[in-house]
Chains A and B, each alone.
Chain A
Amino acid sequence: MTLNYTSDESARELRSRAIARASIYVFEAPVRLWHWVNALAIVVLMGSGYLIGSPLPSMPGEASAIFTTGIIRFVHFSAGYILTVALLGRLYWAVVGNVHSRQLFRLPLTSLRWWSEVLFELKWYLFLERVPKKYVGHNPLAHLMMVSMFLTTLVFMIGTGFALYSEGAGYDSWQHLLFGWIVTLAGNSERLHLLHHLGLWMMGIFVFLHVYAAIREDIMSRQNLISTIINGERAFKDDEP
């Protein structure tokens, strides 16, 4: 079955439940765990990354006794590894997990019905629609943003991040073997640094929009959102289709 994550499908899934006001188990435990590990890693990476680009004021004392930038870089690299391993785990779960665990990794770009609902959601956000539709997973606009803005930026940051790491690790490192081609593609280390730095701002903008949209939708849409990513259950506020 190919899923387009449209409201029709959500309605069917809802109807299939015996009780009214169904709550559906959407985000399985590994997905929720990944979300929070990932969120924490991103916050740590953004903070430490910014401090690598614009370091703290100079430390007094002997260089042999302090390791401030060293620790910040260590934190950045560790969080980067955790982020990467978590994403690999998340990819595995997309294979073995439920239908909703795959939503992050595929876009039904050929479905006209789906595109019309992207447009509908856009109008809902622009106050041109009075009543929103119901969605079990991400709504189509959120889905589009998740893949095009979040996942793309995440993969871009992992790729450029490991490419930068490979510059220090050297030519015989596995980081160079796997990611060295990105340094070549960027053409120049300084440009690669710049791209990675712009990625920080892109991710920051995503986090900002993501949190705002989650809170707003939790209040104004017809389903809950924030508790879903905590306990996995999607509850609906009314029985209308």
Chain B
Amino acid sequence: MFDHDDSFYQVIRRQGVSRRSFLKFCSLTAASLGLGPMVASKMAYALETKPRIPVIWLHGLECTCCSESFIRSAHPLVKDVVLSMISLDYDDTIMAAAGYQAEEILEETKARYKGRYILAVEGNSPLGNDGMYCFPGGVPFVEKLKSMAADAQAVIAWGSCASNGCIQAAKPNPTQAVPIHKVITDKPIIKVPGCPPIAEVMTGVLTYMLTFERLPELDSQRRPKMFYSQRIHDKCYRRPHFDAGQYVEHWDDEGARKGYCLYKMGCKGPTTYNACSTVRWNDGVSFPIQSGHGCIGCSEEGFWDRGSFYSRLTDITQFGIEKNADEIGAGAGVVLGAAVAAHAAVSAVKQVSDKKNKKNKDL
């Protein structure tokens, strides 16, 4: 398709993208990464001169929503970026090659770009029954993942499956699916959680790595800080309604029509780190809250196991029955109240009888 040593700029010029559009893309990306105007030219220079990063894109247990998000990025240029700025050498879902021909590329990249290529992983690996629940190309996925990670320079965990386990790792997790950092422990891992992650976030992370030849700054959960350092709630356009105390109480009430805060409907915006409220989706058209539904917290660890998407308080299952904190608190309060009332009654009886005894003794 393309020469491996071509730069991103050479590839997109060949595809008919003008230099003007290319520079616009650089400024836009620099701005979305929160970097200054000087960086745009630095980025343009890097994209013009550096050979594209070879990327191997593996698919484990997943639903392909990350790829769907990735290839549907609304900005036309971003689509080109996705398919041409990186040298996507292997992606079994969208590549033309199949069978042995496809699997050969893995070995070839591993040998030719040893220690240089980036391993992008969508989905995760089930460990149950020796990994038999995910078996691409005749080997358990966990083997494929380990062998490809061994010679990679860094690993990108696309989406919530690779980052946190997502639905296949939710209780009771019959296949024993684990996020990739449980399998790969000796390589730098960047997590880009979300179900799926935002396309512009995915390209932003890749662009940063190509421009600066290093990983972006990560938080304690190894997520890039530029997109995951604030919660949905911190930048939500409905935040003024939260501060005012104006909430949707029912899905069909006046507040819902007026676009009030969805806090009482169980919106997970206050506990979810992602860029949805700033970057939004589909070329900035909307995001879940703007469409009238609360955030379900899809980019947070274990979001399937934290109770209803429509309640503020997490269910607590440790007590056998599903209860939330307020029910447990009120329950404990009632039991305690009854106990104290009984105790006070016995105390009163004792006090009176002690006094009587004392009086009798004094007589």
Contacts and interface: CB of A to CB of B under 8 A. Distances in A.
Contacts of A63: 240-241, 243-244, 246
B272 to A, nearest CB: 7
Interface in B287-328: 297, 300-302, 306, 312-314, 316, 325-326, 328
B336 A205 contact: yes
B101 interface: no
Contacts of A68: 244-245
Contacts of A171: 219, 225, 229
A241 interface: no
Given A54-B326, A190-B268, A190-B297, A67 B244 contact: yes
Nearest to A211: B340
Interface in B213-265: 219-221, 225, 229-231, 234, 240-247, 249, 255, 260, 263-264
Interface centre among B243, B340, B344 (most CB of A within 10 A): B243
A197 interface: yes
A117 interface: no
Contacts of A56: 245
A58 B246 contact: yes
A54 B268 CA distance: 14
A78 to B, nearest CB: 16
Interface stretch (A14-22, A84-92, A212-220): A212-220
Contacts, number: 126
How would you classify the secondary structure of chain A's contact residues: helix, strand, loop or mixed? helix
Interface residues of A, number: 49
A47 interface: no
B240 A64 contact: yes
A168 B234 contact: yes
Contacts of B31: none
B347 interface: yes
17 contacts: A58-B247, A59-B246, A64-B244, A66-B246, A70-B243, A188-B300, A189-B231, A189-B272, A190-B300, A192-B271, A193-B314, A204-B329, A204-B333, A208-B336, A208-B337, A212-B343, A212-B344
Given A53-B326, A69-B245, A198-B329, 4 more contacts: A56-B245, A58-B255, A67-B243, A171-B219
